[in-house]
Amino acid sequence: MAAADKTLDVKGLNCPLPILKAKKAMKEVPAGGTLEVLATDPGAVPDFEAFCKATGATMLEQGETDGVFRFVIKNTG
């Protein structure tokens, strides 16, 4: 589990807020850098997969522990 360049905690927020906040946070991540997102909304799983496809970002890690979903997304921009 690698450390990300930026961590975004969106636990307790429901769609579309996690995606909107991730989109904004990704602008602060350098190209080649990573954004770690922590979410509790199960809908975040398909949403972040779609987010990566739409933005060209790469999903490096995806998992769930005790109801918290963790995504590590690489900014390929």
At the second CATH level, the architecture of 6-74 is: 2-Layer Sandwich (3.30)
pLDDT bracket for residue 1 (50, 70, 90): low
Q: Summarize pLDDT for 5-27 with one digit per residue, the tens.
A: 999 999 999 989 999 999 999 99
Q: Summarize pLDDT for 31-53 with one digit per residue, the tens.
A: 999 999 999 999 999 999 999 99
Mean pLDDT of all residues in the chain?
95
Q: Annotated catalytic sites, by residue?
A: 15
> Whose CA is closest to 15, among 49, 37, 39, 33?
39
**pLDDT at position 3:** 82
Beta strands at 6-9 and 68-74: parallel, antiparallel or unpaired: unpaired
- Domain boundaries, given as residue ranges, for the chain: 6-74
